[in-house]
Homo-oligomer: A and B are copies of this chain.
């Protein structure tokens, strides 16, 4: 019992330390020995919990990816109007970042180090997410709720603005999730008005 409990704790510890270190200094710059030291174990012991460094990174990335998809779906389903759907999706997106400040940065900046089967899966997953945003934009434009623009360009602008909110959370102004999400929504949705 005590052993199993400790083992679960260690695995979580490895992941949390990895999220922090990968974000701070980059996946490629962090060795297994340094990660192990942060956890308080020796490097080979990590392999009792993760088969490889790649498996560790992909667990971090896909966990965040799942959260983005689920938060989006849950936020959008109860809204009728496309403007409200978009606003809710944006807020949900910022919410996922806010509750995963370190891991979401790894998701955004370190995914490129994923290895061959995981890399393709990740790209597909992320593209599907972008398309969910574009879909709201396209439908809203067709219905006349949004101004007709290049929806791919707009989706990129929206996601880019949302994805850098990490820096705003980290800055000394101490903006809340709501202030950030509302501020960006206001700016972009007003810009989209027909």
The size bracket of the interface on A is 35 or more
Does A143 belong to the interface (CB within 8 Å)?
A: no
Chain B residue contacts of A191, Cβ below 8 A: 186-192
Chain B residue contacts of A160, Cβ below 8 A: 160-161, 163-164
The residue that A190 contacts in the complex, of B25, B152, B184, B190, with Cβ under 8 A, is B190
Copies of this protein chain in the complex: 2
Q: Which of A56-64, A71-79, A80-88, A167-175 lines the interface with chain B?
A: A167-175
A184 to B187, CA, bound (A): 12
Binary flags per residue of A105-142, CB closer than 8 Å to B gives 1, else 0:
00001001100000000000000000000000000000
Chain B residue contacts of A26, Cβ below 8 A: 26, 28, 112-113
Report A183 CB to chain B, min CB distance, Å.
Answer: 5
Report A90 CB to chain B, min CB distance, Å.
Answer: 11
Does A149 belong to the interface (CB within 8 Å)?
A: yes
Binary flags per residue of A144-183, CB closer than 8 Å to B gives 1, else 0:
0000011011101110110111011001010100011001
CB-based closest 3 A-B pairs: A191-B191, A28-B28, A157-B161
B-contacting residues of A (Cβ < 8 Å)?
25-26, 28-29, 109, 112-113, 149-150, 152-154, 156-158, 160-161, 163-165, 167-168, 171, 173, 175, 179-180, 183-184, 186-193
